[in-house]
């Protein structure tokens, strides 16, 4: 009996000790919560608990806050104060090691982070070139035999390297479709690739430079390179939706040299003729949208429009619409629709290329 009583007393003591050495929150309705403060943006506070995981509460609903461990408190004037936090008489007190207790008005608190969150934030400011990338690889494949003998392979790679003030984006897409009947032929052979660097000038405005490349065998396009830059606006920037609007200039260098030789060749030569290289300036206009539709699906949309400044009335454009639906931790199902348009293509080719692909998506997250 004595052993049983001692065991119960020990359990009670350990439970009391864990509560004493945990962060404590008291709400206006009298509820008490204990756990570890993860972060706060001055409007809400995230508390990690052993019994319910992460719990989010409204900051103005808290009447008393006491933390056992240090928090990194950032104020409206961009100062960061580090130390255990308590609330008293409507003020937040930070027990710093160097300056003693520092009082901060709750309205001036912009962010609070624990050590782990602060370390993650610090790494996001200046990640190494091999760290901090996120994106995915999409693969689609089909094979037909019997009355038809065809193979189709679609590959896409998208990766973004974001920091607090800039972002680098790279992409590569490839579509290869071949028919192996009596007369083998290429049904589609399209490759696009590019890189873009964005630098924030303020929370809404950013500058960008970009280089984009395309090869399209069915349009007799050997290679098109577009090099440009300009300004963009973060029209919408939230956890669930981002919308960027872009405008600028680009220099385009393109070569059409795989078409049928014209006899006699067109005079003067234009880029509808065989073996012609074009160089011209064009505007860059476009938008990029990312929307989280529910917990498992992400919708992306991209539109680029390039009016030719050298040949009035000529232009190029591309519209992309895609979805990725999560079906596992790293695995998803992707669908992608693209419309690639050239107003004056080579003779014998069409202005539009419509492409629809579907397949698996393998996502990757920043390396730690």
Model pLDDT for residues 141-193, shown as the tens digit of each residue:
776 666 556 678 888 999 998 887 889 999 999 988 877 665 556 566 889 99
pLDDT at 325: 94
Listed range (10-24, 236-250, 327-341) with the worst mean pLDDT: 10-24
Last residue of a domain, one of 125, 142, 164: 125
The verdict on 254 and 343 lying in the same domain is yes
Domain of residue 74: give its range. Answer: 21-125
Q: How many domains does the chain have?
A: 2
Q: Is residue 15 part of a domain?
A: no
Answer yes or no: do 170 and 82 share one domain: no
Which residue pairs, CB below 8 angstroms and at least 24 apart, start in 356-360?
A: 357/138, 357/140, 357/154, 357/156, 357/175, 358/140, 358/333, 358/334, 359/138, 359/139, 359/140, 359/141, 359/154, 359/333, 359/334, 360/138, 360/139, 360/140, 360/331, 360/332, 360/333, 360/334
* Residue 209 and residue 154 share a domain: yes
Same domain, 195 and 113: no
Tell me: do 201 and 336 sit in the same domain. yes
**How many percent of the chain have pLDDT more than 90?**
37
Query: Are 360 and 252 part of one and the same domain?
Result: yes
CA–CA distance, 316 with 321 (Å, rounded to integer): 17
| Same domain assignment for residues 88 and 144 | no
Q: Could you say which of 85, 103, 125 is where a domain stops?
A: 125
Residues 120 and 144 in one domain: no
**Which pLDDT belongs to residue 183?**
58
In a domain, 9, yes or no: no
Beta partners for residue 250, in sequence order:
228, 282
Q: Are residues 107 and 201 in the same domain?
A: no
pTM of the model: 0.66
Average pLDDT on 226-239 reads 94
Q: What angle do CA 7, 11, 14 make, to 5 degrees?
A: 135
pLDDT at 316 over 70: yes
């Amino acid at each position: 009996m004595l052993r049983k009583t001692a065991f119960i007393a020990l359990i009670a003591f350990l439970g009391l000790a864990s509560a004493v050495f945990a962060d404590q929150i008291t709400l206006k309705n009298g509820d008490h919560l204990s756990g570890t403060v993860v972060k706060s943006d001055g409007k809400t506070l995230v508390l990690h608990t052993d019994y319910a995981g992460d719990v989010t509460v409204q900051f103005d609903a808290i009447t008393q806050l006491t933390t056992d461990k240090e928090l990194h408190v950032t104020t409206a004037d961009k100062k960061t104060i580090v130390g255990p936090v308590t609330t008293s008489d409507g003020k937040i007190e930070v027990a710093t090691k160097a300056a003693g207790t520092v009082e901060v008005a709750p309205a001036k608190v912009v962010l609070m982070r624990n050590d782990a969150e602060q370390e993650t934030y610090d790494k996001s400011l200046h990640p190494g070139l091999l760290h901090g990338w996120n994106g995915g690889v999409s693969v689609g494949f089909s094979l037909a035999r019997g009355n038809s003998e065809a193979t189709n392979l679609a590959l896409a790679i998208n990766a973004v390297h974001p920091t607090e003030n800039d972002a680098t984006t790279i992409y590569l897409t490839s579509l290869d479709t071949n028919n192996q009947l009596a007369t083998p032929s290429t049904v589609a052979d399209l490759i696009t690739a590019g890189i873009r660097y964005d630098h924030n000038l303020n929370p809404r405005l950013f500058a960008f430079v970009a280089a984009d490349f395309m090869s399209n065998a069915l349009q007799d396009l050997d290679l098109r390179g577009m090099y440009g830059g300009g300004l963009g606006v973060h029209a919408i920037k939230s956890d669930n939706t981002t919308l960027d609007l872009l405008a600028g200039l680009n220099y385009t260098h393109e070569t059409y040299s795989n078409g049928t030789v014209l006899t006699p060749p067109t005079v003067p030569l234009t880029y509808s003729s065989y073996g012609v290289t074009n160089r011209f300036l064009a505007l860059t206009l476009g938008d990029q949208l990312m929307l989280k539709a529910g917990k498992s699906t992400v919708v992306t949309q991209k539109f680029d429009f390039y009016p030719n400044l050298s040949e009035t009335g000529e232009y190029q454009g591309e519209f992309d619409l895609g979805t990725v639906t999560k079906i596992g931790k790293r695995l998803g199902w992707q669908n992608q629709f693209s419309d690639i348009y050239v107003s004056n293509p080579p003779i014998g080719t069409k202005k539009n290329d419509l492409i629809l692909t579907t397949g698996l998506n393998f996502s990757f997250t920043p390396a730690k």
